[in-house]
Chain A
Amino acid sequence: MKSLLGLSSYGRNHTLQNRFWQQIHLDPLLLGLLIALISLGLVVLASSDAQDPGLMQRQLMRIGLALFLMVVVAQIPIRYYSLAVPWLYGISLLLLIAVLLIGYTSNGAKSWLNLGFIRFQPSELMKLALPMLIAYYFSKKQLPCSFKEACVGLVLIAIPCFLIAKQPDLGTTTMIAASGCFVLFLAGLRWRYILGALIAAAALAPILWNVLHEYQRGRVLTFLNPESDPLGSGYQIIQSKIAIGSGGLFGKGWMNGTQSHLEFLPEAHTDFVFAVLGEEFGLLGSLLMLILYACIILRGLYISVHAQDTFSRLLAGSLILTFCFYVFINIGMVMGLFPVVGVPLPLISYGGTSIVTLLAGFGILMSIHTHRKLVG
């Protein structure tokens, strides 16, 4: 994997071309893969365009903004971020508290803040701030981290998670908790602690069950047996499986997906967009998307391994693992492997601010990779 994905930007000879990318602080391979994936996503989304003519336009604007932000983020050397980390985390926390007090509700969760000129979800900011803070914290410690340090890290993770869970937004909570935990894992948390935590989680599951909201419990139950409620909450999973399964090897063809076009598939352009891909482009189209995701993830891991300081390594690793986690949770959910959690398919699903956050994250990866002090 190193030879395939590492070759173009890190080799024995720096070509003129490489120097050019170095100077504009972008990683051409990662950028190319991202643009390929986003383009594939737009093709799938265009199929949903018939139902909402303004959809493509809005998504393109969002992508444009996100790409711009990515480029900007990539220009800033990573050491400046590490300086800003505690502040960023603090501000994000304050905004999350503000959301609970004065935020407004959409789709059942009180997660939006209206700043007058712009509406945004502070939890998106936290998606970057939390892994940065945890990575920053451990970069100051000697690794592998001690039990006490791990506990401190867990507390730092728990605080924003608690605030977001209050909104309530189970999907985002899971993702943010995961991003923090990935840092802990990469920081060398001892296996016995990891094992212990897993056992403790299993033991605590019944208690967590009681804390869950009714609709969240329902989702878990229908995941376990979607046919138990085919017209209610199991409906999405059943219809999504039908969409993907009926796609077959080659799919029904672009714009010909009956499950999505006749609206049997709910959330066809947001959380369940992968099912549209599966239906219209079949196994081949689905595999193409999985391969693009795999390449992006491998490139991200490559970048993290080759980062030059602990903060960069932990941050890059956490960002790319979180991205990977997104992909698994969403596609697994759409194919009926995991319960329905409100997690969009990264870089593909329509709407939200997640695409902006994600590309900003990739901006950080590019910054890490292109601001290295090159030896030689």
Chain B
Amino acid sequence: MRNPYLKNHLAESQLFRNRVFVAGIVIIVFFLLLVGRLYYLQIQQFTTYSTLSEQNRVTLLPVAPNRGLIYDRNGVLLVENIPAYSLQIIPEKVNNISETINALNEIIPITEDEQKNFYQQLKLRRRFEGVPLKVNLDEQTAAKFSVNSYKFPGVKISAELMRRYPYQDIFSHSIGYVGRINEQEMTQIDKTIYSATQYIGKTGIEQYYEAQLRGMPGYQHAETNVRGRIVRILKNEAPTHGNDLYLTIDHPLQIDSIIAMEGKRGTVVALDPKTGAILTFISAPGFDPNLFVEGIGQNTYQDLLNSWERPLFNRVLRGQYPPASTVKPMIALQALQLGFVTPEYQISDPGFYRLPNVKRAYRDWWKPGHGMVNVHKAIVESCDTYFYAISNRMGIDPITDIMKQFGFGEITGIDLVGELKGVLPGKEWKRANLNEPWYPGETLITAIGQGFTLTTPLQLAQMSMMLANKGERIQPRLVDYIKTPEGEIIKNEPVHLDSLPPKEEKHWALIQQATRDVVGGARGTARRINNPDFAIAGKTGTAQVFTLGQNEKYNANLLKEHLRDHSLFIGYAPADDPQIALAIVLENNTGAADVAQKIFESYLARINQ
């Protein structure tokens, strides 16, 4: 039928027209599809895509807020932010980075650590961002580079604010320091708040008040291209600077206290007993916090960490010492209040005490013995035998009770992180921790502040405050008030904690008089610090670090330094109207009362001017 030589032109033309018609329909459908899609994208989804386009285009560049400053109670600046220069390399503008670093090394020495750091940072940053090579240049070095900068395209000096602690080790344990945010902290912090900040409070007030000090970053709204390069700045949103802190610490007293310590290891905590405001906070030796801001070298850090003097150790918060004889006024108060003794009750002290049917002698510090001793004399002369005797009548429970009332075995709640709570000895404690029953002999040594009892210097200061206040306990604190950038003042009001179960006024009077006679009395253990200008009330203590055998004699010169006794003093002045209460611990040393005297003198002379 088919004949290639006989074509039906009309039929073929008709067939073609039909096919074109079908194709035309398909084309129209497709065009409608495209128009529909355009309508969907550009009209219906316009808002969505418009937003996405803006998100693409506008990048928020965080601007670092200034960290809040820290002042003492008189307005002396203790922590500041100073501009620091850093040497930065912009990778995309440098042809050969290692050659550039070598050339720079000839002008400004660059350590291997710095290079290592730099190459690490290099991986994290974008090609057009400056990568710090050397930080904290002094002005001389910065100037030295500037003169030669024409030789180094793509290398620049940049200035940023850096935390600076002008008093170095003087406030190191109370104020603490900031350091670079580490990987672990990175997972815990809110990254938007720290987007422009490389530092975070690591210890001390810098850590506790981090949320107050850090502020909120501002933002530059920058138009950026796909690689993040800034094309232009659209808008600036200023950062909210951190709040300033005004401490309760008294800068002159802190310095005088350090001078008074004469370089001895130990602690001084002085506070205003009426408000709980800490005036002096010393854990000696301290360290230079600036080292941690700049990025402390591994060796320096190890040296500090391993030093036998333990300068990084916050003794005030975490040092746990036997309170020794400083507990005696408190124990006597309890014995009087509970009626175990009367003010007139006396014992005869031969220089030691023996429990019935026990051979072992509990020795008094004064070998000849104090003779006939009542409660007043027992405190003034710090008679151990008297407290052995009455504690044996009391048993351990009332002693545990009063220690607990004075805050032993629990943290004071000061505005710092990491406070330890010491050891509150007692039957429960021993069962829970040593799984042993309580022995009567342990009651005796607990009554003179030895044995299991451990307290932090902060707890001792708290006890001192409570003796001054007749039992009123106010939470110690370091920050007096917070000042916002707008000048608004947020006061850190004193927190009055639960008071003791009431004690009779006459018992308080007796105890306060006795502590006063510790200094003022003719036979007081601290009579050498007696002062004509104002009355001091206090109690000395000597904490044994090393237990002597039954027949051995303590001789400080024969013992290694770290086994020698600690010297303690708690007290307040003026005795009639306490303005300052303190606790002093000198490790393996003597003279805590002498330090106290100088501190009292310095403070009272100044506030009474």
Contacts and interface: CB of A to CB of B under 8 A. Distances in A.
A244 B39 CA distance: 10
B205 to A, nearest CB: 44
A242 B49 contact: yes
Interface in B1-51: 2-4, 6-9, 11-13, 15-17, 19-20, 23-24, 27, 30-31, 33-35, 37-39, 41-43, 45-46, 48-50
B38 A287 contact: yes
B56 interface: yes
Interface stretch (A142-150, A197-205, A220-228): A142-150
Nearest to B56: A264
Contacts of A1: 24
B31 A185 contact: no
Interface string A237-265: 00101111111110000000011001110
B49 A241 contact: yes
Interface string A284-323: 0011001000100100010011000010011001000100
15 contacts: A185-B19, A186-B23, A242-B49, A244-B49, A245-B46, A258-B53, A262-B57, A264-B225, A283-B39, A301-B23, A304-B20, A314-B16, A332-B37, A335-B34, A337-B33
Interface in A304-360: 304-305, 310, 313-314, 317, 321, 324, 328, 331-332, 335-337
A290 B34 contact: yes
Contact of A283 (B23, B30, B38): B38
Contacts of A213: none
A242 B34 CA distance: 16
Given A188-B16, A314-B16, 4 more contacts: A143-B7, A244-B49, A245-B50, A305-B17
A142 B19 contact: no
A244 B3 contact: no
A122 interface: no
B480 interface: no
Contact of A246 (B6, B39, B49): B49
A283 B33 contact: no
A332 B2 contact: no
Nearest to B39: A283
A146 B53 contact: no
B224 A186 contact: no
Contacts of A332: 33-34, 37
Contacts of B30: 324, 328
A140 B46 contact: no
A242 B35 contact: no
Contacts of A297: 27
Given A188-B15, A249-B43, A335-B41, A262 B225 contact: yes
A278 interface: yes
B52 interface: yes
B17 to A, nearest CB: 6
Nearest to A238: B52
Interface of B: 2-4, 6-9, 11-13, 15-17, 19-20, 23-24, 27, 30-31, 33-35, 37-39, 41-43, 45-46, 48-50, 52-53, 56-57, 223-227, 231
A198 to B, nearest CB: 13
A67 to B, nearest CB: 26
B227 A242 contact: no
B298 to A, nearest CB: 38
B58 to A, nearest CB: 9
A278 B34 contact: no
A167 B476 CA distance: 81
A246 B45 CA distance: 8
A246 B27 contact: no
Contact of B16 (A140, A283, A305, A336): A305
A321 B25 CA distance: 12
Given A186-B19, A290-B31, A246 B38 contact: no
A131 interface: no
